[in-house]
């Protein structure tokens, strides 16, 4: 046994291709062992991306501008002619001027939920009572009398401001001082619109509507019980509020009335450009416009969520977007092999897939070799009727196609790793059996076997003690060949969807690529698993070629 191994090692060292094969297999085994460390992502996790996006609406034209900020933008406000400021997560504030978005430094990393600009000044508010003032080109954090998350803010030309937030928080800025207002409800307040120092409305959860008269807040009868998320007032006689499930409230002459628009998902922001015209944005790229007395959906060609919108005459700008699934991303330093349609990291899947390939390959090959070698030993030594029957069975095995056989097993059971091992193991020992048998046939007539028989050794003893060690090199060779075959078979069967549904293998990755339909263009999804299958199998072939020289000295002449 030891001598055999030593011979094998020598043969491999002499053959360059075999050395390459051993190297590759060693690396693969290491990769499989350390898969959790080497994988950069959870192979099952749908990775997400966030980025700020702007959508411009100029008349009938809609134009998307992706990646303008590194984080979600929540709110946007016009702060001059063709000039806008937008605030978002991570304390990001972006300013649009001279046709370009550029970041503005802020002293915070808190999420900024709303921004409001008037008369060359801006206020941004956010989580944990964050209030930022923008004056003379610099953002300054000002102390606020609350720790609550603030969701909305509105600033007037004359310097009055209201900020609203969770659990009925309302801050009032008059002159230089922020004070907390008495609020008749304890619900979350989502947005505020202030026209002047003594006229404004606040909207909030469960249809909350509050009126501000310069001093205090009064609850107004609301026509809805759904969450209201945003509000815009054009003047004292015209306004709109929007909310979840396509809720739209229209304000006319002191009364709020519910209206039906064409959208049914959550509406997140509304902007008005005249008493009759309004633009609403929502989730999944939803947008609608009211003009000429009716609401009409605007196709944006976009499916991510919008957060805020503002309009300035003919131009409107909407910002977003929420974190979205990073689907079908090209290879990048973040995802070496790109991502699947579900945003799963393909590199990590491939790394984890090496485990399945090696385990199934080895277990199935072992099964094949054990069955095949034993059948070959008995068939070749006992001969006669036993040999006949066993070889007939081998013939029958050759008539069964592997993939369809596995399919029948799956049809009668359920897909899984055991089906693959069983199919390969039960079917493909046929070749090993034939090859071992013919070797045993020639060994059985050798003097040492005859001597053992005369000495009275039992057939079992002769087979396992005397003959088996001599076919061991050949069995090793067959193990390698069977392993190459088993790895290909596993990939093929998994590709057909017969593999374990919750376990990644190289075949499963390709199966999912095919199912998604994205494989026709997503080359980064198709190439890596296939290259690894090929590399593994060819390495085993290389190794087995070197083993052949030992197993079959006839070949060493080559």
Partner 1 sequence: MTRLIVSKLLQMLFTLWVILTVLFFLFRLGLPDPTVALVTDGLSPEDRAIVTERFGLDRPLPAQYVIYLGNALTGEFGRSFHYNAPVTSIVGERVANTLVLMLPAILISYTIGPLLGVLLAWKRGSKLEAGGITAGLVLRSAPMFWVGMLVIMLFGIQLGWFPTSGMRTFPYEAANFFEKIFTLDFLHHLILPTIVITLYYTGLPMLIMRNTMLEVMGEDFIEFAGARGLSRARVMYRHAARNALLPVVTQAAVTAGLAVGGQVVVEVVFSWPGLGLEMFNAVRTSDYPLAQAAFMLMAAIILVLNFAADVIYGRLDPRVSYTSEGAGV
Residues that bind partner 1 (CB under 8 A): 17, 392, 395-396, 398-405, 407-408, 410-413, 428, 430-431, 434-435, 438, 474, 477-478, 480-482, 484-485, 488, 491-492, 495-497, 510, 513-514, 519-521, 523, 526-527, 529-530, 533-538, 541-542, 544-545, 547-548, 551-552, 554-555, 557-558
CA separation for the pair 122, 260 (Å, rounded): 33
**Distance spanning both ends of the chain, measured CA to CA:** 26
**Which contiguous run of DSSP H or E holds residue 190?**
strand 189-196
SS3 for 388? helix
Of the candidates 244, 252, 289, 285, the residue with the CA atom closest to the CA atom of residue 270: 289
Q: Between 17 and 220, whose beta carbon lies closer to partner 1? A: 17
Tell the smallest beta-carbon distance from residue 552 to partner 1 (Å). Answer: 5
- How far is Cα 178 from Cα 194, in angstroms, rounded to an integer? 16
Name the residue nearer to partner 1 (CB basis): 300 or 369: 369
What is the distance between the alpha carbons of residues 256 and 51, in angstroms, rounded to a whole number?
A: 36
The torsion angles phi and psi of 107, rounded to 5 degrees, stand at -85, 15
Report the nearest approach of partner 1 to the CB of residue 333 (Å). 25
Give the nearest distance from C-beta 536 to partner 1 in angstroms: 8
Q: Using a CB cutoff of 8 Å and minimum separation of 24, what contacts does 295-301 make?
A: 295/248, 295/259, 295/260, 295/261, 295/262, 296/262, 297/262, 297/263, 298/57, 298/62, 299/62, 300/55, 300/62, 300/64, 301/62, 301/64
CB-nearer residue toward partner 1: 257 or 396: 396
C-beta of 488: minimal distance to partner 1 in Å? 6
Burial 218-243 (b: 16+ CB within 10 A, else e): eebebebebbbbbbbbbeeebbbbbb
Q: How far is the CB of 377 from partner 1 (least distance, A)?
A: 16
Taking the least distance from each CB to partner 1, the nearer of 189 and 406 is 406
Give whichever of 352 and 434 is closer to partner 1, judged by the CB atom. Answer: 434
User: CA 131 to CA 171: how far, in whole Å?
Assistant: 10
Minimum Å gap between C-beta 332 and partner 1 is 20
Q: Note whether 312 and 13 are within 8 A (CB).
A: no
The backbone torsions φ and ψ at residue 536, rounded to the nearest 5 degrees and listed phi first, read: -65, -50
Task: Tell me whether residue 50 or residue 546 sits nearer to partner 1 (CB atom).
Answer: 546
Taking the complex as a whole, the smallest distance from the CB of residue 520 to partner 1 amounts, in Å, to 5
Helix (H) or strand (E) holding 78: strand 73-80
Polymer length of the chain = 558
Contacts of 426 (CB under 8 A, 6+ apart): none
Query: Cα–Cα distance between 122 and 94 in angstroms, integer?
Result: 12
Q: Min. distance of Cβ 416 from partner 1 in angstroms?
A: 14
Nearer to partner 1, 16 or 446 (CB): 16
Residue 22's φ and ψ, nearest 5 degrees, are -60, -40
Select 435 or 463, whichever has its Cβ closest to partner 1: 435
Cβ-based nearer residue to partner 1, 309 or 368: 368
Nearest to residue 481, comparing CAs of 382, 552, 407?
Answer: 552
> Shortest gap between Cβ of 207 and partner 1 (angstroms)?
49
Query: What is the three-class DSSP state of 73?
Result: strand
Q: How far is the CB of 433 from partner 1 (least distance, A)?
A: 11
Nearest-angstrom CA–CA distance, 504 and 358: 12
**Is the four-CA dihedral 295, 301, 306, 309 of positive or negative sign?**
negative
Bridge-based pairing of strands 100-104 and 112-118 is unpaired
Residue 290: CB minimum distance to partner 1, A? 44
List of E strands, 109-188: 112-118, 121-126, 130-135, 138-141, 150-155, 161-165, 169-174, 177-180
3-state per-residue secondary structure call for 26-55: HHHHHHHHCHHHHCCCCCCCCCEECCEEEE
Q: Which is nearer to partner 1, 238 or 480 (CB)?
A: 480
* Least CB distance to partner 1 at residue 521 (A): 7
For the CB of residue 549, give the shortest distance to partner 1 in the complex, in Å: 11
Q: Which is closer to partner 1, CB of 205 or CB of 537? A: 537
């Amino acid at each position: 046994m030891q001598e055999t191994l030593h011979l094998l090692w020598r043969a491999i060292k002499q053959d360059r291709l075999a050395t390459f094969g051993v190297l590759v297999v060693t690396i693969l085994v290491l990769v499989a062992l350390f898969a959790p460390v080497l994988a950069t992502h959870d192979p099952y996790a749908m990775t997400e991306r966030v980025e700020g996006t702007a959508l411009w609406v100029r008349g009938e034209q809609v134009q998307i501008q992706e990646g303008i900020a590194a984080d979600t933008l929540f709110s946007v406000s016009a702060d001059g002619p063709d000039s806008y400021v937008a605030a978002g997560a991570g304390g990001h504030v972006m300013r649009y001027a001279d046709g370009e978005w550029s970041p503005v430094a802020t002293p915070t990393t808190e999420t900024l939920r709303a921004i409001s600009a008037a008369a060359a000044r801006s206020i941004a508010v956010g989580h944990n009572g964050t209030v930022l003032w923008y004056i003379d080109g610099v953002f300054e954090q000002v102390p606020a009398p609350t720790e609550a998350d603030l969701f909305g803010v509105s600033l007037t030309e004359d310097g009055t401001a209201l900020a609203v937030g969770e659990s009925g928080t309302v801050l009032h800025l008059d002159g230089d001082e922020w004070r907390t207002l008495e609020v008749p409800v304890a619900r979350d307040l989502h947005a505020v619109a202030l026209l002047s120092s003594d006229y404004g409305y606040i909207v909030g959860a469960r249809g909350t509507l509050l009126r501000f008269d310069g001093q205090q807040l009064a609850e107004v009868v609301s026509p809805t019980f759904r969450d209201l998320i945003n509000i815009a007032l054009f003047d004292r006689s015209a306004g709109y509020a929007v909310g979840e499930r396509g809720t739209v409230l229209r304000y006319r002459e002191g009364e709020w009335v519910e209206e039906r628009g064409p959208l049914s998902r959550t509406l997140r922001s509304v902007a008005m450009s005249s008493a009759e015209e309004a633009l609403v944005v929502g989730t999944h790229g939803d947008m609608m416009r009211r003009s000429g007395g009716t609401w009409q959906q605007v196709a944006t060609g976009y499916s991510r969520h919008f957060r805020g919108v503002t309009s300035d005459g003919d131009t409107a700008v909407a910002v977003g977007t929420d974190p979205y699934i990073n689907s079908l991303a090209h290879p990048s330093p973040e995802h070496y092999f790109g991502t699947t349609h579900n945003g799963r990291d393909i590199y990590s899947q491939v790394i984890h897939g090496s485990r399945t390939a090696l385990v199934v390959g080895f277990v199935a090959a072992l099964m094949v070799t054990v069955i095949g070698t034993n059948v070959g030993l008995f068939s070749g030594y006992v001969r006669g009727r036993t040999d006949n029957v066993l070889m007939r069975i081998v013939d029958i095995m050759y008539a069964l196609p592997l993939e369809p056989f596995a399919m029948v097993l799956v049809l009668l059971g359920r897909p899984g790793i055991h089906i693959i091992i069983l199919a390969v193991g039960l079917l493909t020992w046929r070749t090993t059996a034939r090859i071992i048998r013919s070797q045993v046939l020639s060994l059985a007539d050798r003097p040492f076997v005859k001597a053992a028989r005369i000495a009275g050794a039992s057939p079992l003893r002769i087979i396992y003690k005397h003959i088996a060690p001599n076919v061991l090199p050949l069995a090793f060779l067959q193990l390698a060949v069977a392993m190459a075959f088993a790895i290909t078979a596993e990939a093929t069967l998994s590709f057909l969807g017969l593999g374990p549904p919750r376990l990644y293998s190289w075949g499963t990755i390709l199966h999912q690529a095919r199912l998604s339909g994205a494989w026709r263009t997503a080359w980064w999804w198709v190439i890596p698993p296939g290259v690894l299958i090929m590399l593994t199998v060819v390495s085993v072939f290389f190794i087995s070629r070197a083993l052949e020289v030992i197993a079959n000295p006839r070949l060493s002449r080559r």
